Structure 1
Amino acid sequence: MLNILVTGSHGQLGSEIHELSHEYPNTYFFTDKEELDITDAKTLRQYIEHNAINAILNCAAYTTVDKAESEEELADKINHLAVKYLATIAKEHNIKLIHISTDYVFDGTIYRPYLETDATNPQSIYGKTKLLGENALLHTKLPNSVIIRTSWVYSSYGANFVKTMLRLGKEKESIGVIFDQVGSPTYAKDLAKTILEILPKINNTQTEIYNYSNEGVASWYDFAQEIMKMAKLTCKVNPIETSQYPTPAKRPHYSLLNKSKIKNEYTIEIPYWKDSLEVCLRKMGERK
């Protein structure tokens, strides 16, 4: 039995872990910024020591990609400094740590599925602060720790692309969605299940990086089309280029992740993205 601290527990991934936690008997401490400020090292240390935490699932992050361009200090506190504090305390107390990162640490110019060993080159403040968090953890040389890079996360919880498309699909006759950014959606429930399954198996002398997303390839346009199709919405989805929809933050054009490492080392099966989308829409009552 582990005493597991789950940060960011009100977010998409944290909520899915909460829902699945009864299937993985442990003692869980579900916290969000209201319950625990992970950017305050002293408070964080006191909480971890008081509750005898011996495993941490860091799902907390500043994820508002465009807003991060004007809120770099706040994004850095959450995505970088908080990870440094968690890693430092975990090293002192021999605590297992799984930290969630992003495909935005890459620049999207390779045009083949990214390996964990490929060079990073983030193009946004969000991506840069997430990479700083990764590097802080790596620098700590914390054994029994894992970084999981994921992409295009959605869930029945929280705000996400799927919910936005469902709303627009009901309100509008047509919308434009970007077709020249390619990756793979990730159903947060699938990632949560993987995290809870691999946690007791982690046994490494240094931090290991793994990629995780659902199987398959899609553009945002493909993703939107499938949402409309499964929900039987008549809204027409028109493909547009990134240049037609300028945003403050630059996003990678190609960020497909190679998942061979996590599949081979932990013997896990990853669902196809369309199958997982159907599961999520059924749960939301939107699959028609």
Structure 2
Amino acid sequence: MDSIQSCQKAKPTVLVVGSNGQLAKALFRNCPQRFAIECWGRADVDVFNIAMLKKRIAKLNPKVLINAAAYTAVDLAEADAQAAFDLNAIAVENLASIARDQSIAFIHVSTDFVFDGKSSLPYRPESATNPLSVYGESKLEGELAVSKLEPQQAVVVRTAWVYSMEGKNFLTTMLRIMQERDSLSVVCDQIGTPTSADSLARVLFHIAARLISEKESPRGVELHHWTDAGVASWYDFAKAIEAIAVQLGLLKSSIDIKPIATEDYPTPAKRPAYSVLDKSKTVERFGLVQSHWQEELKKCLMEMVRLKMENSR
């Protein structure tokens, strides 16, 4: 027993802040055997209490801190800007500063909303930013906070259109609506890449492992992009969800899905019309292999079927 406990203690610990979100849950599900994982949510830690944060993190002594906490209610942020900036910028600065001072590798997850969507080519990490919404502005402020602190090891990963099999996201919302209605309308002129929270989690662990191995030769702050491969509109995404869900028996039958323009579906926050991210730098830097978004979507839906069958036994 002692030797087993000793072996477990030898695993490097990855601390995930933001345990209630879909990404944090995916990180917990996908944690490799090589790591021990600790997930903290609002009930566990106050990200605005720096003194308490320092003590708690120092006691845990993680090798990597992944910040998966964020204010992600894009439309609500327009009327609740202070809350968005608090969590997406001030809390990020607090965590990044502690990671720097305690020599912990820091991984922060950001968003495609830092861009205005006016490009016709995939956005590179160094592309000019110009957020259209409070949410995008607050996330960009968080990125800048990390850069200004100049930690020895930090990676900011921008991602987009993240979904998972649980929580409130485009996938779960579409499945619910498709079960309740005979038809629905989905925006067809916003272009991006659906990204599985599980595939993103696996990439973040891959990056974490690389940062640990490079601890003796840190690179400062790195800015990267990651989504699944391919391009789609929200309409394309909805049609793919429908087709695979019917095939797997999650939906009894197809429904009528109509494409509409963004102007026909007004929202408080403006969305970038085009937010495809160029991942080539990240693929080369970390030796990653991309999966197409439709492959990852099918894996996610197949897991939903498996869990549904398991729960029905």
Classify the TM-score, shorter chain: over 0.9
The letter for the 2-side match of 1:62 is Y
Q: Does 1:279 align with 2:299?
A: yes
Q: Does 1:84 align with 2:93?
A: yes
Farther-moved stretch of structure 1 (125-134 vs 195-204): 195-204
Gapped runs of 5+ residues in structure 2? 1-10, 247-252, 309-313
SS state of the match for residue 220, structure 2? Answer: coil
Please give the per-residue CA displacement for 1:29-82, whole angstroms capped at 9, x wherever unaligned.
211111112122222112112222331011110001001111111111110001
Q: TM-score, normalised by structure 1?
A: 0.96
Deviation (angstroms), 1:20: 1.6
Deviation (angstroms), 1:265: 0.9
The letter for the 2-side match of 1:112 is L
Deviation (angstroms), 1:24: 3.3
Please give the per-residue CA displacement for 1:193-230, whole angstroms capped at 9, x wherever unaligned.
11111212124321101100010000000000111111
**Residues in 2 aligned to 1:188 and 1:141: alpha-carbon distance in whole angstroms:** 28
Farther-moved stretch of structure 1 (227-236 vs 170-179): 227-236
Residues 139-154 of structure 1 mapped to structure 2, 5 A cutoff: 139-154=148-163
Q: 1:99 aligns with which of 82, 90, 108?
A: 108
Q: Does 1:196 align with 2:205?
A: yes
The letter for the 2-side match of 1:3 is T
What root-mean-square deviation, in Å, do the aligned CA atoms of Structure 1 and Structure 2 show?
1.3
Q: 2:16 aligns with which of 1, 6, 26?
A: 6
**Residues in 2 aligned to 1:57 and 1:165: alpha-carbon distance in whole angstroms:** 29
Give the percent of matched residue pairs that are identical in Structure 1 and Structure 2.
Answer: 39
Residues 185-264 of structure 1 mapped to structure 2, 5 A cutoff: 185-202=194-211, 203=214, 204-232=218-246, 233-264=253-284
| Structure 2 counterpart of 1:39 | 48
Contact kept? 1:154, 1:185, Cα under 8 Å: yes
Residues 22-33 of structure 1 mapped to structure 2, 5 A cutoff: 23-33=32-42
**Residues in 1 aligned to 2:120 and 2:56: alpha-carbon distance in whole angstroms:** 44
**Residues in 2 aligned to 1:111 and 1:36: alpha-carbon distance in whole angstroms:** 42
Q: 1:270 aligns with which of 283, 290, 293?
A: 290
Contact kept? 1:24, 1:196, Cα under 8 Å: no
Which structure's CA Rg is the greater one?
2
Contact kept? 1:142, 1:205, Cα under 8 Å: no
The letter for the 2-side match of 1:113 is P
